Structures are given as structure tokens and as C-alpha cells.
Amino acid sequence: MDAYENEQQRTFRDRARSWLKSNLPAGWEKGSKQEPTDADERLAFRLDWHKKLYQGGWLGLTWPVEWGGQGLGQTYQLIFNEELARHETPPMASWVGVELLGPTLIEFGTTKQKQDYLPGVLSGDDIWCQGFSEPDAGSDLFAIKGTARKIEGGWRLDGRKKWTSWAQYSKYCLVLMRTGSEKARDKALSTFIMPMDTPGLTVVETRMIDGDKEENELIMENVILPHDALVGPLNGGARVVMRNMSFARGIGTIERTLILEMILKKLRRSAKILPTPEAPAYARGEIRSRLVNLHSRIQALKYMGYRKVSEMEEGGAKGPVASVEKLVWAETNQALSRLAMDVIGAGGLLECHDLGDGTWPGYWLKEFFRSRGGAIEGGSNEIQKNTIAKRVLNVYAA
Amino acid sequence: MDFRLSDSQNRLCEKLQSLLSGLPVSDLAEPEPERAAPVEGIVIKPTAASGEMIAFYRDLAFEQWSKPEKPGDERLLNIVLACEQAGRLPLDRSLRSLMLASWIALNVQEAAILKPLLNDLAVSLGGDDMQLTPRPVFTPGKNKSGPGKISGKLDLVEGVMNASHLLLDCETAKHQRGLFLVDLKNDSLERQSVGYIDRSRRAGCVTFNDTPVHRIADNCSDVLDDVVVLGRLLTTAELLGASDALLNHACDFVRKRRQFDQAIGNFQSVAHSCAEMFRDVEMIRSLLYATAVGHQGRGIPQNQGTAAAKALASELAGNVGEKGLHLFGAEGLRWHRGLHLLMRRIKALQILFGDRARCEDVILSHWEQSNDPEAAEYVL
């Protein structure tokens, strides 16, 4: 084990830190770090940040050089993501594109697909979404029913997709469709690139419990795609999607863990003045104990992530800790936001109330509701436990 | 950076596992009643440490503690791995105490005397949280730097009933503590066996009546504080070993045990319990290894990092122990199945060197003392 960065890694971190300090949006570092509340303005804000990162050469760090990346190892991506988290930077406009879709195309796409799409993914010119889940196929993804039928000149797509994040702003969607019988389950699925302006495609926003309209339904009625829209082998879509989802559980979870670390620090400060400065939550032993417990859990989670990156660096496999990491992150995220609501008391019930703790109005409430999603998206807690029991412990054959 | 175990650490674990396999049953094992139905499958019995194993641990401790500290060295993690492996069995010897005494022998000038005694040495330190009443009092002899005597009682000392000597600390002056060595054959002391939760260890209480002691060091509060921090780290390693062993036993059991015409592991609630145990074990492992490796080359691990690892391990190992026992059904409650030996060990380790609340107080106190919230974090 070697917990120390080498000289190049230290230099890289210093460079990243210094670049971020000079390039964060104006007023961001010392402000409440609230993005614009209007959805369109927020997108523009994130797009602006995305383009700054791109122009600074910070996107696609692990992508091959020939596809616009830097060809660096996972540890460098880890270091950069650590710095992003510690500076509490805004999200970029096309996280899905850079972190998930890009690596998927690099692995499974044709040379033409890579040439056509990867530059726009990195630059943020093209925002991507991914259409996998359906109304009757969430955790049981291989039960999807939406079909892609081979027709003269290409493919005809019919069906509905659910929980497609950022579809309303996207230019393209990587969509998983059934290309054979339902009985064949994962052996008859394929992935396609679908331009979002294709006739026959309708996007319907879904308002979520945190008030956001991040998610969408896609309704595909006689959507026609060309032959070369297929990504990866015909009927090999399950592998493409599983690999795609494994990228989501890669470095990204570590960044999200470090964000939890930052949120806990905020909460520790808030607990000393809320719900009122005269009777702060921190004075209660139970609250202090929960704060310390979450601190320990977040530290454990962080080092679990580092171990996973070391395993990925070696050969791309994430080992048994990836599912545990996702599970613990989701549980810890929820425990943290639950504690926050207990700390702030009645003030947390008001959506537009400035608590005076440096956070923007409604911040903790939004965190509380948003944290529900972490235990569902990218494989629910139950799916993670099934995976651990089945693939790691070999106790579950169902 | 590389957060995987190195090849040499994997080899060390293999060597330790081979030393720990096939050890004899200790004489603390209780015979089954005559004509009782035999306990089949997974059976855990109190285990006797072999001379070869003790010698290996002693030599490993001296080898590792003797290495000069430098960034990136692996000495602390190697010691942690050794204690983790020992924690997997209900051994009759505390190898953690051996490791701590070795550290003292190397770091306290006069303590070299301990080295030949390590094989049969019991250790009782004020910071181990095993005392219910005030600790014994030291009275210096005429020559204040020479031998002296102690009086009073130690309520609970692991392994004292089969040890030849006892290493303990006493207050020597206000806010000062010293280290002393006692020959347990001395007539002026009385050892009495106590019913201790950990049924694989011969624990006892010791009453001293002006018992002569060999003075090892005066005014060594700083050293003793370091030993408590180390003790916390090594008990965490034992908690990891015990909970990982219980997880493995539980998984073996649910793969084989059949009810309703199938292995019970096929029931999702059972499978999820196993997954939750694995989650908890990996959490303990992650924070423990990081604490050990994060402070290599910087002396004793920082107090708050170790306290966080111990607090989390105390909570999670307790969960693993309870779930593991439960998955065996009524068989898990059978004395001669022996699972309770690991559960008992976990309960003792949860208290040793500071329970969860005490460890949490260490972190809170660190947060309070630090004006800069960023500095309050221990980052690598």
C-alpha cells in the first residue's frame, strides 16, 4: 500500500487547484454556491462551466489522446475529481456525456461514430442523455419491451423510456432497445444513437419530489434511425449498458463521497447555530454522536473508493468493493440529509428561508429529497445487495 | 498512490493464515455432554496458540517496530494485518498485548528487560478501560528511583491466569504515570480467576498487598498515551478479523443449510443479511487500513483517525456478530457450535481501549480544539 502521491501527481494536483481557484464562476468560492433557479439559466450556467473545463484541458483526462483526451491514468482523474469536490464546483452540463457515454463509445463505437460524436461530447456542444429504463423495467432492466425492428434503410423504434435525465436539453440519446424476443431477455438487446430531434420522438418532463424536472419520459412512435446508429454488436446491448453503468460506479462515486465530506463540514458549522444560536443542535449528545458517526463512515467510504481506483488502475476491474461503495454512499447520503433536517428544525420546513448558516435558502430540504434518488438510480440498494450476495459471496442463486 | 495490499503484505497474510490453521483446541474447551447429538459442519473451539506462532508474532513485532520510520513504510499496516488474522480465531493468547509490549520494550529505554518475558507476559494499562475501581497505587522505596511496592486491585486482566509476569502502569505523581513489572509468583499478590465474557481467555483479577515491583520507567505518560492509541488500532484489527471470520462462517452455512427444499441463501432476506455483513466488514477494513497506512512514517497514528476507526468498527462488528449468529438459527445459539466465542470476543473488543462513545469524544474534542474546520480533518 502506498498512500502517498508521487511528484508528478502532486504537481498535477497543484496545477488543478490553482486553475480552479482562478476559473471558478465569479463570486462562487465565497458565495452560497447556488446555481440559477430557472432551469434554462441553470443549463447555460453549467454549459459555461463545462466549456471552461474543456478549454482548460481538464475533460477526458483518461480518454485516449487520439480521441481528444489526455491519456492519463485513473489516479489523475481521481485527483482532479477530488479538487472539483473540495472546491464545490458547479456540475458540468454534460456529465452523462463525458463520464458515461464517451467512455462507452470509445470502447464499443465504430471509428466513424467516435469521429462524429466524441468531439461534441467533450466540448459540451452536444449534450447527451441515456434511455435505458422503461415503465415496467427499472431494476429488471433486461425486461424492457421497447423495440427496434430492422427495416429497409435502418431501424424503426417504438416504445417508452422513463427516468431519462436531461433529455429535454439533449441533442442525442444512447437508447437500449429490444431487437429480438422478450424471452431472450439480455440476449436480444441492442444500443442505438438517437438524435433527439428525430420525428416520432416526444419528450415529456417528469417533476421529481425535490421540485426539479431533471427526469423525462421518452415516447418513441415510429422513430426511424439509420443502420449505422447501432452501437456495439447487434444483440450485444446488455454488455454495452452494463459497461456504461460500471463507468457510473467508477471515479464518480469518489467525487460524490468527497461532496458528502464537504456537506458534513457545512452541517457541523450549521449545528452550532441552528435551529437557534441559543439552543444549537450541537449541544445535544445524540446529534454530536451522529455527526461523528457520519464522519467515520464518510472516511471509510472515501478509502474504499481509493482502493477501487487502485484496482481499476491495474486492469479496469473494480473488484468486489464497487457495489459496496455504491450501497454505502447511498445510505450515507440519506443519513446525512436526515441528520441535517434534524439539526435545522423548523427552519428546514421553509423552502425560501435563509437559515443564516451560509447555505442558500432551501438547500438542506433539497438535499433531503434529492438523496432519496441516490438509493434508486444506477442500481437500487436492493440490487447492490443482490449483486454482493450473488457475485461476491456466492450465497444467492435466485 | 496504491491502496491495495502489496505482494509482501499478501504473502504475510498467507504465512499467518498457515500458522493459524490446524492449531490445537485449548483446555478451555468444554466437553460435550455424553450421548448428545454431535455438532456437525462449522464448529469453533477455543484455540491454543502454539509456541511457533507466538515466536513468529514476537519476531514480527520486533522486526517491524525496529524499522526506522519513513514515509511509505509498511510497518504499522503489517502489525495491523497480523492482529487481524489473530482476531479470526478464539485464541487463548492476546497477540495484541504481545505487540504492544514489544513496542514498549523497544521504545522505553529500560524496557528491554521485557523481551525475554514476552511469551508469558500479561499487560494491564490504565487506558485499556478494563478497570472498574481506582487503579493500584505505587509507593516508592527509600531510593526513589529504585524498586517500590504497589497496593490495590486490578479488576480485570486478560490472560493473567496463565502469565508469569505482569506489565502495568500506576500513577507515580499527580498527572504522571510509570511502568512497572510484577512477578506473578510473588506471595504478596493474589490472582483470582473471573468469569469473563471472552471464554477463550484466562482472565483474572489481581490484588496487590505491598507487592514489590520492578520499575521500568517513570513519567512515561506520553508513551502510555501512544500505547493507548496503538491499542485502539490493534483492537480494531481484531474486530475486523473476528467479524470477517463470522461473515465467512455465516456464508458457508447459508450455502449448505437447506430448508423448504433449497439452500437458505436463496431467500433474499438471508442473502441481503450476508451482503450487509460484507458491507460492514469492508467499511471496517477500509478505514482501518487507511488509518494504518495514512500515518506510516509519521509515528503513532493520529489519535482522532484511530478513534474514528475504532468507533466505527465497534458499531459495525457488533452488527456483523449479531447478524452472523442469527443466520445460523437455533444452531447459532448452541454452546458447542462455538460461534458465541467470536461474538464474545467482539463484545470485549468493543470496550477495550475505549468504547464507541469514548472514541467519539476523542474526535469531538479534536474538532473543538481546532479553530479551522479544514484542519480538523485528517487527510492524507
Residue with cell 502469565: B163
More confident: A248 or A277: A277
Which residues are within 8 A (CB) of A179 and not within 5 positions of it... i.e. 6 or more apart? A147, A148, A149, A150, A188, A189, A190, A234, A235, A237
CB contact under 8 A, B275 and A261: no
One-character DSSP codes across B233-286: HHHHHHHHHHHHHHHHHHHHHHHH-EETTEEGGGSHHHHHHHHHHHHHHHHHHH
pLDDT confidence band for B377 (50 / 70 / 90):
very low
- Do residues B223 and B177 lie in contact, with contact meaning Cβ atoms separated by under 8 Å? no
CB contact under 8 A, A288 and B294: no
- CB-CB neighbors (< 8 A) of B306 in chain A: none
Domains in chain B: ranges and CATH: 7-105 (no CATH), 120-219 (2.40.110.10), 223-378 (1.20.140.10)
Report CA-CA distances (Å) from A180 to A102, A134, A141, A156, A286.
Answer: 27, 17, 15, 13, 56
pLDDT confidence band for B295 (50 / 70 / 90):
low
- CB-CB neighbors (< 8 A) of B380 in chain A: 3-4
- CB-CB neighbors (< 8 A) of A1 in chain B: 2-6, 9, 74, 77, 289, 293
DSSP-derived letter for residue A42 is H
How many CB contacts within 8 angstroms connect chain A with chain B? Answer: 156
pLDDT confidence band for A210 (50 / 70 / 90):
confident
Task: Based on DSSP, count helices (H) and strands (E) in chain A, helices before strands.
Answer: 12, 8
Mean pLDDT of chain A: 93
- CB-CB neighbors (< 8 A) of B276 in chain A: 385
Task: Compute the nearest-CA separation of B109 from chain A (Å).
Answer: 31
Q: Which residues of B52-89 are buried (b: 16+ CB within 10 A; e: fewer)?
A: ebbebbbebbbebbeeeeeeeebbbbbbbbbbbbbbbb
Name the residue among A3, A303, A393 with its Cβ closest to that of B278.
A393
CB contact under 8 A, A393 and B377: no
Crossing angle of helices A285-315 and A74-86, rounded to 10°: 150
Task: Compute the nearest-CA separation of A344 from chain B (Å).
Answer: 19
Cell numbers for A61, please give them. 483526462
CA distance B212 to B182: 7
Task: Compute the nearest-CA separation of A250 from chain B (Å).
Answer: 15
**Mutate: best of B248, B257, B282, B314, partner A, most A CBs <10 A:** B282
Give the long-range contacts of residues B70-74, CB within 8 A, separation 24 or more: B70/B297, B71/A4, B71/B296, B71/B297, B71/B298, B72/A2, B72/A3, B72/A4, B72/B296, B72/B297, B73/B296, B73/B297, B74/A1, B74/B6, B74/B8, B74/B9, B74/B293, B74/B296
pLDDT for res A18: 96
pLDDT for res A397: 81
Which residues are within 8 A (CB) of A241 and not within 5 positions of it... i.e. 6 or more apart? A132, A141, A176, A189, A191
Q: Which residue of B has its CA nearest to A328?
A: B279
CA distance A309 to A292: 26
pLDDT for res B299: 53
- CB-CB neighbors (< 8 A) of A297 in chain B: 283, 312
**Mutate: best of A299, A329, A331, A386, partner B, most B CBs <10 A:** A299
pLDDT for res A105: 98
pLDDT for res B143: 76
DSSP-derived letter for residue A155 is E
Task: Compute the nearest-CA separation of A76 from chain B (Å).
Answer: 10
Task: Compute the nearest-CA separation of B286 from chain A (Å).
Answer: 5
More confident: B72 or B118: B118
Q: Which of A372, A375, A367 minimizes the C-alpha distance to A329?
A: A375
Q: Which residue of A has its CA nearest to B307?
A: A296
Q: Distance from CA of residue B30 to its chain's centroid?
A: 24
Task: Compute the nearest-CA separation of A20 from chain B (Å).
Answer: 18
Least confident of A2-16, B257-271, B349-363: A2-16
3-state secondary structure A160-217: EECCCCCHHHCCEEEEEEECCCHHHHHHHEEEEEEECCCCCEEEEEECCCCCCCCEEE
Residue count of chain B: 380
CA distance B77 to B45: 28
Q: What share of chain A in percent tops pLDDT 90? A: 76
CA distance A205 to A40: 14
CB contact under 8 A, A268 and B268: no
One-character DSSP codes across A302-315: HHHHHHHHHHHHHH
Q: What is the rounded average pLDDT of the residues B211-217?
A: 93
CB contact under 8 A, A292 and B308: yes
C-alpha triplet A151, A152, A158: angle, nearest 5°:
25
CB contact under 8 A, B377 and A265: yes
- CB-CB neighbors (< 8 A) of B377 in chain A: 261, 265
CB contact under 8 A, A301 and B286: yes
Cell numbers for B174, please give them. 499527580
- CB-CB neighbors (< 8 A) of A293 in chain B: 311-312, 315, 360
Q: Are strands A172-178 and A128-131 parallel, antiparallel or unpaired?
A: parallel
Least confident of A79-83, B65-69, B112-116, B342-346: B65-69
Name the residue among B286, B305, B380 with its Cβ closest to that of A307.
B286
Name the residue among B279, B289, B311 with its Cβ closest to that of A292.
B311
CA distance A308 to B1: 12
pLDDT for res A125: 96
CB contact under 8 A, A300 and B364: no
Least confident of B220-224, B248-252, B317-321: B220-224
What is the CB neighbour count within 10 angstroms for residue A28? 18
Name the residue among B1, B255, B308 with its Cβ closest to that of A395.
B255
CB contact under 8 A, B373 and A269: yes
Task: Compute the nearest-CA separation of A375 from chain B (Å).
Answer: 15
CB contact under 8 A, B309 and A296: yes
Helix (H) or strand (E) holding B350: helix B339-351
CB contact under 8 A, A293 and B268: no
- The tens digit of pLDDT for each residue in A78-88 reads 999 999 998 99
Q: Which residue of A has its CA nearest to B10?
A: A1
Name the residue among A296, A314, A396 with its Cβ closest to that of B287.
A296
Residue with cell 449479531: B322
Crossing angle of helices B75-86 and B95-107, rounded to 10°: 150
Q: What is the rounded average pLDDT of the residues B130-152?
A: 88
CB contact under 8 A, B373 and A5: no
Name the residue among A296, A309, A386 with its Cβ closest to that of B312.
A296
CA distance B226 to B36: 49
CB contact under 8 A, A297 and B360: no
Helix (H) or strand (E) holding B207: strand B204-217
- CB-CB neighbors (< 8 A) of A382 in chain B: 272
pLDDT confidence band for A253 (50 / 70 / 90):
confident
CB contact under 8 A, A296 and B294: no
- CB-CB neighbors (< 8 A) of A265 in chain B: 373-374, 377
Name the residue among B2, B266, B283 with its Cβ closest to that of A2.
B2
Name the residue among B5, B311, B380 with its Cβ closest to that of A3.
B380
One-character DSSP codes across B107-149: HSGGGGGGGGGGGGEEEE-GGGS--SSPPPEEEE-SSTTS-EE
Residue A318 has pLDDT above 60, yes or no: no
- CB-CB neighbors (< 8 A) of A324 in chain B: 278-279, 282-283
- CB-CB neighbors (< 8 A) of B77 in chain A: 1
Cell numbers for A256, please give them. 460524490
Task: Compute the nearest-CA separation of B93 from chain A (Å).
Answer: 29
Q: What is the rounded average pLDDT of the residues A183-195?
A: 97
Return the bridge partners of B151, or none: B137
- The tens digit of pLDDT for each residue in A355-394 reads 999 898 889 999 999 999 999 988 899 999 999 999 889 9
- CB-CB neighbors (< 8 A) of B254 in chain A: 395
Q: Which residue of A has its CA nearest to B310?
A: A296
Name the residue among A1, A386, A398 with its Cβ closest to that of B6.
A1
CB contact under 8 A, B287 and A300: yes
ipTM: 0.92
- CB-CB neighbors (< 8 A) of B293 in chain A: 1-3
pLDDT for res B294: 72
Global pTM? 0.93
Determine whether B35 is exposed, middle or buried from the number of CB atoms within 10 Å of its CB (0-12, 13-18, 19+).
exposed
Mean pLDDT of chain B: 91
